[in-house]
Amino acid sequence: MPHRAYVIDQMISAKAIAARAEVLAREITAHFKGCDKLVVVGLLRGSFVFIADLVREIDLPVEVDFLEASSYGDAMHSSREVRILKDLRGEIAGRDVLVVEDIVDTGFTLHHVVNLLRSREPARLEVCALLDKPSRREVPIKATWTGFEIPDEFVVGYGIDFAQRNRNLPYIGKVRFTE
C-alpha cells in the first residue's frame, strides 16, 4: 500500500487513558471478584499496550493469552472476512474470560471472536474495549466495558497502527491526510 502523507492530531491523552484504565480495572476486579484466575485474552495486535496497562491494575490472579484475528490487514476499512491468525494456547472451558479489544468498529471481528470463544464453553465471558465507534457498527455487539466512545475517525497510537506505524504513540491520535 503506498503511504499517503498524514498528520496526527491528539484525541485522547496518555494521562486520560491511564486514568480510564484504572477505573475499568476496578470495575473488572469487582465483577470477577472471587474467581480463581481470570483469563485475559488480548486481541492482537492493537490491544497489547492496553492489556499491559489494564492487567497491572486488575486486583485478581490473571493469566494472559492472545488471539490474533484480522479483518483489516493494512487497509483502513474492514474486509468483513475475519481470519484467525493465532489461536489461544490454553483452554478456557469452565474458566472466567475477559476479552480485551483495542477498538470496536463494524463489530465483525469481535462478534466472530466472541462466538468462537463462547463455543469453547467458558464459565463467564466479558469484553473490555479501549475504544468504541458505535456509528460504524454493522453487527449488534457491545463490550461490557468501554474506555472511550469516539466518532468515526481513523485513529492510531497506544498500540493501534496504520500500516504498522504509530503503535508506539503514548496517546490516541486522529489521522488527518494531507494529500
55-90 pLDDT, tens digit each: 999 999 999 999 998 775 555 555 567 889 999 999
pLDDT of 3 over the 80 cut: no
DSSP string for 55-72: HHH--S-EEEEEEEEES-
pLDDT of 49 over the 60 cut: yes
Segment 84-104 mean pLDDT: 96
pLDDT for residue 77: 56
CB 171 within 8 A of CB 10: yes
The strand pair at 124-132 and 83-86 is best described as: unpaired
pLDDT for residue 51: 97
Q: Across all residues in the chain, what is the average pLDDT?
A: 92
Using a pLDDT cut of 70, give the percent of the chain over it. 93
Active site residue 105: yes
* Phi (first) and psi of residue 57, to 5 degrees: -100, -15
For the whole model, what pTM was predicted? 0.92
Residue boundaries of the structural domains of the chain: 12-152
Domain 12-152 coded CATH 1.10.3720.10: no
Segment 119-132 mean pLDDT: 98
Q: Which residues contact 25 (CB under 8 A, 6 or more apart)?
A: 54, 57, 58, 59
pLDDT for residue 163: 85
Segment 42-65 mean pLDDT: 96
pLDDT of 52 over the 80 cut: yes
pLDDT: which is higher, 1 or 142: 142
pLDDT for residue 76: 54
Which of the four pLDDT bands, split at 50, 70 and 90, describes residue 1? very low
- The catalytic position among 105, 132, 152, 161 is 105
